[in-house]
Chain A
Amino acid sequence: MEILAMHISNGIINGPVAAVFAAFALAVLTLCVLRGRRDLDDRLAPMAGLVAAFIFAVQMLNFPILTAGVSGHLLGGALAALLVGPWVGALCVAVVLVVQALVFGDGGVAMLGLNVTNMAILGTAAAYLLIALLLRVLPRTPAGLAVTAFVSALVSVVVASQGFVLQYWLGGTTDLGNNLTGLAGTMAGVHLLIGIGEGLITATTVLTVAKVRPDLVYALRALEPVAPATRVPVAGSAR
């Protein structure tokens, strides 16, 4: 029961359910494209590319969890939501998944809708809702931002893993009977551990960026009506 990577490969979920989720993912991504176009300015375009590259690199680090023989990896949905916002963020994760499915065979092409729904849509949406909530509630300090990043990353990973359980319940090709609750438990437990790692990485990265270039953190910009003076990068400012 233990072996699950986050990318669903072909044949795990039946065709009709995969098709329904593919339609759902396509609809949400279309919305993201429409809303994302408005967000994507000269500052966000390179950031979106870098966030996608970062997520791509980080997803390559599969960590095996020794006791259960499970391998899981980081998702990056919370990082994307914090740095480039929910719309472009979901697109970034989706780009990573499409490229992985097309050229690395990681995640079946026919299951792309399921994978996009879990990781790009559910993960990013859960993260962004929490970010919007926590940034209002918590004090505007580096510690508050760190807690926000950590918690939203942790929760988004667990939510994404439960998306798989839902999909398996709807259209798993093998009926697991009562073992399905076991599957849910295993997925939640494993991804709680992964989520801690993800939370730490997200918090460190966002905190560093917020310290040096707060103008680059979308979540801080979006929630602060009085935007700080836009800092035009000066040639030679970086090394």
Chain B
Amino acid sequence: MGAGHAHVLYRESTSPVHRLPPEAKIAAMVSFTIAVVATPREAYWAFGGYALLVAVVAALARVGPRWLLGRALIELPFVLFAFALPFFGAGERVEVAGLNLSVDGLLGGWNILAKGTLGVLASLLLAATTTTRDLIVGLDRLHCPQIFTQIATFMLRYLDVLVGEARRMRVARVSRGDDPRFLWQLRGFAAGIGALFLRAFERGERVYLAMVSRGYSGRMPAVWQGAGAATAGQWAAAATVPLTAAAIAAAAVVLT
């Protein structure tokens, strides 16, 4: 089950990180990120420590640096914002290479760049080692409300329905003599967006009713969840990363 779903970022492997139960990985990723964000921005060395941690986990998960950095480009808009800050920030100013820059802005830019990048890398590592289905299983085991996991399950399920319907409608248009090129494709797409939604819904509704008639009551059966919940040992293994990060953050707060 779940084959062919949107596993765009998932990297098939059997590394130790892949084998960790999803709930432990989610908890570790979230607490790692909070530790990073709580670190004072002047503690430059701490961010080096975090980067090292990310690199170790990436190596354990056999995720290459090229893949990670390529995907991290999603952050680009914020990187540009970070570069704009030194020019627009208020307060004390400093002359760097002939440019009149705000000290606060420079630090702020660095802050966004460092914390943003580390956060993106951490989420990418989670995505690379966890299928979207496992992610929902993990959220469910972390006692996320059922209505929430239910919407998330259907969302991931229907994404493919939506993409499939869009493709079928495009084929139908083209086979009736429509010859979309470049931006003009958008026109046909925009005109059909309502129909796309309706078609996808009616398909999705039939899938849903089929599930209900087979006993679905808002929660996937236990067999869907795969391996059992995390053991104490697995929790401890996953906790090493956020605990190290928390130690670095605490040291950074004390030292600066």
Interface residues of A (CB under 8 A from B): 1-5, 9-12, 15, 18, 33, 36-37, 40, 42, 45-50, 52-54, 56-57, 69, 71, 88, 91-92, 94-96, 98-99, 101-106, 108-111, 172-179, 182, 200-201, 204-209, 212-213, 216, 233, 235, 237-239
Contact = CB atoms under 8 A, between A and B. Distances in A.
Given A109-B33, A175-B89, 16 more contacts: A4-B81, A9-B119, A11-B112, A46-B207, A48-B151, A53-B159, A95-B148, A99-B152, A108-B115, A109-B30, A176-B88, A176-B90, A179-B90, A206-B194, A209-B194, A209-B197
Nearest to A233: B205
Interface of A is mostly: helix
Nearest to A203: B194
B44 interface: no
B206 A50 contact: no
Interface of B is mostly: helix
30 contacts: A2-B84, A4-B81, A11-B115, A11-B116, A33-B145, A46-B207, A48-B151, A49-B150, A49-B151, A50-B201, A53-B159, A54-B200, A57-B163, A95-B152, A99-B135, A99-B152, A99-B156, A102-B126, A103-B9, A103-B130, A105-B119, A108-B119, A109-B30, A110-B37, A111-B37, A174-B108, A176-B90, A177-B89, A238-B203, A239-B202
Interface string B25-58: 0100110011011100100000000000000000
B247 interface: no
B229 interface: no
B153 interface: yes
A110 B85 contact: no
Contacts of B116: 9-12, 108
B62 to A, nearest CB: 18
B190 A15 contact: no
B197 A54 contact: yes
Nearest to A57: B162
B75 A9 contact: yes
Contacts of A109: 29-30, 33-34, 119, 122-123
A2 B30 CA distance: 29
B177 interface: no
A174 B108 CA distance: 5
In order of increasing CB-CB distance, the 5 nearest A-B pairs are A49-B154, A208-B194, A174-B108, A177-B90, A11-B115
Contacts of A99: 132, 135, 152, 155-156
